[in-house]
Amino acid sequence: MKEPIRKLREPIDPAAAPKPVRLVVAALILRDTDSGLEVLVCQRKPDQPMSLKWEFPGGKIELGETAEGALERELNEELGIVATIGRRIARVRHKYRNGGTIDLQFFMVREFTGSLENRIFNDMQWSPLERLTEFDFLAADLGLIRDLSEGKLL
């Protein structure tokens, strides 16, 4: 039997509606040095939300994209490189205080063509893994930062 269509008693408040989970991909771009592995870390601009926090380059997966395809596109837009996306290192779900939830996947990148160019960040640095905890990272990244700095995962 069909459900009758009922009139809503309360008007819908868009601010109260649950926000969809945002699917995000980010890259651990690695390089070997004499003193060990280093990873590229990027700082958000002062005028962005969560300003001046550090993060890994990447962004949201768009409709119809695979995770790897989205990350390849983002790295090209943000850094001007064509990257070979390697294995997935970690996946986390994090609820930010503003109510938004992100599903974040981190992939390893060991190879790319083109030279790294800072197109959108406030700052960019190569960091030894054990010094990652010195950067003020986004909250969703903190578990990964701890593991990487303790030599786990890589």
Q: Which is nearer to ligand 8GT, 38 or 141 (CB)?
A: 141
106 near 40, Cβ under 8 Å?
Answer: no
Question: Does the protein bind ligand 8GT through residue 4 (CB under 6 A)?
Answer: no
* Cα R_g (the chain), whole angstroms: 19
Q: Which is nearer to ligand 8GT, 73 or 110 (CB)?
A: 73
43 near 56, Cβ under 8 Å?
Answer: no
Report the sign of the C-alpha dihedral through residues 119, 121, 124, 129, in that order: negative
Q: 144: which residues sit within 8 A by CB, 6+ positions away?
A: 89, 90, 92, 106, 153
25 near 109, Cβ under 8 Å?
Answer: no
Residues 54-93 within binding reach of ligand 8GT (CB under 6 A): 55-56, 58-60
Question: Does the protein bind ligand 8GT through residue 104 (CB under 6 A)?
Answer: yes
Question: Does the protein bind ligand 8GT through residue 120 (CB under 6 A)?
Answer: no
Least distance in Å: CB of 4 to ligand 8GT? 39
Identify which range of 8-16, 31-39, 81-89, 138-146 contacts ligand 8GT by CB under 6 A. 138-146
Site residues for ligand 8GT per CB under 6 A? 24, 26, 48-50, 55-56, 58-60, 102, 104, 138, 140-141
